[in-house]
Chain A
């Protein structure tokens, strides 16, 4: 009996398969016909915001839906993956020059330079976006030789989130200096609470943190970039000292247990479920205060402070940069439609307003006029930090070179923290990687 059922099932399914593939065939045919009539257009939209319900992804999806409602002839197919898988997939797509019509892009050379250099991105007309109140200089990362290849979406910076309740109940003051950070962490450790949650498995957070460590050591963000370009060296004593200090911070138990294997979700949960007192993460996590998955006592008490300083630096010295944005593929058959959509997307009623008012993040367009006065404390604290900026890092070092350099610097940090390399070796290897990257781009 069983076998007959199985056989029958297989037969039905294979017929179904043939039928299905026929279907797709005919559908493609009809959409091609449609194009001739100027009616149906399908835009493929590839984004790195996989959460389509809340946060930035929720806002993005809302705008897409409303656009499709207003333009019934346009269908937008969304594909969404997390950052790292997204970037891998982009490489797969670009090897066949088949990028989706609209892709999320980062105005950082490790991501966008290979795409621009190989003519995969469509040149945009800055005039299309002139009236959208973009923050000054925010197009820089997306431009090359005076041509624009993408539109920025967010302003990102790296603060330190903290749980006010845990601090107040235990009579602990938020850390102001790096020494404070270690002292505070020891107190939390003694209470059995994880000090700082972070997503060490993903790898990118540490090099960004290193930007801070080195800035706190030298008082400026310049050494980082100079060494990358070969004007200075990563074997500079300041780099070694910064590496040593990072290692000290790690060894003092500042990071939560298992920080090296915590992925994004794990770290976020640890903080959101009040198992960690602090959270080293980008400003885009403003949505923490409204995430229903977390207890109310957390949502009401989440706050944010600048990364702790040293005597050489100020709290306003921020790792701040233009984050994600969008580009249009050069091989797209619907470039006009794609541009039309982006223009709609960035209209003041849409992205900047919705993003800010939903508390999902900081748009790259000025949002002063959308301040409602009803912002959460988290949002207010975030603006205060944003307005206090005294110096800016620009693109984080890991994204400022080749993809290989990025991978190397990410795993070098892990190796430093697990003791596989010494601070001196760390400097040497980093320098070698930078040199290799410079040679490769020659």
Chain B
């Protein structure tokens, strides 16, 4: 509760720089913003060109007429639609599992009293430092043994595992800021640990959960090297495959390649735009503790 009131104060307007300064500031920021977006605009622009026009000299080329056909090709030949649903499924399930598991872990580390608390926490944080690539082949061998290759689980499990450490880290950082007195009162009222966790802690931790979920969503959505190693059947392929496949199969059709790239980028942008407030809220309230 404490955190919320602080947040409100800090969101108030701070100072007013003089007018001229404001114009310079806005111009500068506009330029920065455009520079940041420019490559993406270029991507969309070129995705509407004929492959032959790619070699022109102009920076931007007005597509005349726009080659919407590139997008049709991308959709059909790049298998964008089925891959999209695979991506969505794998990503959402991984995000959900990661969130649940991280909350449990964070609670155990910040609240519970046990001997190996620090040891276990360190082992999990160690996971943050492990490069994904070191686990590719061992995991391939393991998945092969237990028959998980070419299944959604072959992606969900490692995605979850690699997202747990940082998620747990963020959530437990947040939990530490929650005063223990609330829980003490609840215990006196006869509430169990699970009751405390779900009825009291969970609602307060929501901003942190939102943050990790969105960050994990982006991570999973964009991951490709594991997908590339563990998945061979079309049925289970995720979106980044479209582009890898497309670059190989239709290497002569630049326009369609750019169209596929745009199609992959758009969902991430939309998801981000919808949840942008959540991310910021989570990050900011997490940072109040400093």
Residues of A within 8 A of B (CB): 2, 9-10, 13-14, 16-17, 20-21, 24, 50-53, 57, 77, 79-82, 85, 89, 92, 95-96, 98, 263-266, 268-269, 272-273, 275, 291, 293-295
A57 to B250, CA, bound (A): 12
**Quick one: closest B residue to A52, CB to CB?**
B249
**Is the beta-carbon distance between B247 and A269 smaller than 8 angstroms?**
no
Q: Which residues of B contact A (CB under 8 A)?
A: 51-52, 54-55, 77, 88-89, 92-93, 96, 137, 140-141, 144-145, 151-153, 228-229, 232-233, 244-245, 247-254, 274
Q: State whether B96 touches A295 (Cβ < 8 A).
A: no
Main secondary structure of the interface of B (DSSP, over half): helix
Nearest CB in chain A to that of B91: its residue: A13
Partner of A51, one of B93, B140, B152, B249: B249
Given known A2-B274, A21-B152, A273-B54, contact A95–B141 (CB-CB < 8 A): yes
* CB of B160, distance to nearest CB on chain A (Å): 13
Contact A10 B253, beta carbon cutoff 8 Å: no
Q: Tell me the smallest distance from the CB of B248 to a CB of chain A, in Å.
A: 4
| Contact B247–A14 (Cβ < 8 Å) | no
Contacts of B96 in A (CB 8 A): 10, 14
Q: How far is it, in angstroms, between the C-alpha of A10 and the C-alpha of B245 when the chains are bound?
A: 28
- Chain A residues contacting B88 (CB-CB under 8 Å) are 13
A13-B89, A16-B89, A95-B140 known; A268 vs B153 contact (CB < 8 Å): no
Rank and list the top 7 A-B pairs by shortest CB-CB distance, nearest first: A265-B251, A50-B248, A293-B252, A82-B248, A96-B144, A50-B249, A51-B249
Contact B137 A95 (CB under 8 A): yes
Instruction: Using A51-B248, A273-B52, A294-B252 as known contacts, say yes or no to A21 and B151 having CB atoms under 8 A apart.
Output: yes
Selected A-B contacts with CB under 8 Å, 15 pairs: A10-B96, A17-B152, A21-B153, A51-B251, A57-B249, A92-B229, A95-B141, A263-B247, A264-B251, A265-B247, A265-B248, A273-B51, A273-B55, A293-B252, A294-B252
A13 and B93 contact, Cβ closer than 8 Å, known pairs A21-B153, A269-B51, A269-B251: yes
Closest to A78 in B: B234
B244 to chain A: closest residue by CB: A85
- Nearest CB of B to A359, in Å: 16
Q: Out of B89, B248, B252, name the residue touching A272 (CB < 8 Å).
A: B252
Chain B residues with CB under 8 Å of A24's CB are: 151
Which of B88, B92, B144, B252 lies at the interface centre, i.e. has the most chain A CB atoms within 10 A of its CB?
B252
Residues of A within 8 A of B52 (CB): 273, 295
**Total number of A-B contacts with CB less than 8 angstroms?**
81
B252 touches A291 (CB 8 A): yes
Q: Which residues of chain A are near B92, meaning CB under 8 Å?
A: 9-10, 13
What residues of chain B lie closer than 8 Å to A264, measured between beta carbons?
A: 251
CB of B56, distance to nearest CB on chain A (Å): 11
Q: Pick the contact of A20: B137, B145, B152, B232 (CB < 8 A).
A: B152
Residues of chain B within 8 A of A265, CB atoms compared: 247-248, 251-252
Cross-chain contact of A14 among B93, B145, B244, B253 (Cβ < 8 A): B93
Are A17 and B251 in contact (CB-based, < 8 A)? no
In the complex, what's the smallest C-beta–C-beta distance from A276 to chain B, in angstroms? Answer: 10
Complex: A39 Cα to B137 Cα, angstroms: 35
User: Which of A10, A77, A268 is the one whose CB lies under 8 Å from B252?
Assistant: A268
Q: How far is the CB of A79 from chain B (nearest CB, A)?
A: 5
Q: Which of B89, B152, B249 has the most CB of A within 10 A?
A: B249
A291: chain B residues within 8 A (beta carbon): 252
- A293, B140: Cα distance in complex, Å: 38
Q: List the B side residues contacting A89 at CB < 8 Å.
A: 232
CB distance from A29 to the nearest CB of B (A): 13
> Which A residues are in CB contact (< 8 Å) with B89?
13, 16-17, 20
Min distance, Cβ A373 to any Cβ of chain B, angstroms: 29
What chain B residues lie within 8 Å of A293 (beta carbons)? 51, 252-253
| Assembled-state Cα–Cα distance A95/B145 (Å) | 12
How far is it, in angstroms, between the C-alpha of A263 and the C-alpha of B247 when the chains are bound? Answer: 10
- CB-CB under 8 A from A2, the residues of chain B are 274
Least distance between B39 CB and chain A CB atoms (Å): 18
Query: Contact at A81–B248, with CB atoms within 8 Å?
Result: yes
A265, B250: Cα distance in complex, Å? 8
CA distance A146 to B208 in the complex (A): 67
Q: Which one of A9, A77, A266, A294 contacts B233 once the chains associate, using CB atoms below 8 Å?
A: A77
Chain A: CB-nearest residue to B254: A269
Q: Which residue of B lies closest to A48 (CB)?
A: B248
**A392 → chain B closest CB, angstroms:** 29
Contact check, A269 vs B93: say whether CB atoms are below 8 A apart: no
Nearest chain B CB to A279 CB, angstrom units: 13
Most buried by A among B96, B137, B141, B229: B96
List residues of chain A with CB within 8 A of the CB of B250: 51
Whole-angstrom CA separation of A10 from B250 in the bound complex: 35
A79: chain B residues at CB < 8 Å are 232-233
A265 vs B252: C-alpha distance in the bound complex, in angstroms?
A: 6
- Bound Cα distance A346, B52 (Å): 37
| A residues in contact with B229, CB < 8 Å | 92
B78 to chain A, nearest CB (A): 12
Of chain B, the residue at the smallest CB distance from A267 is B251
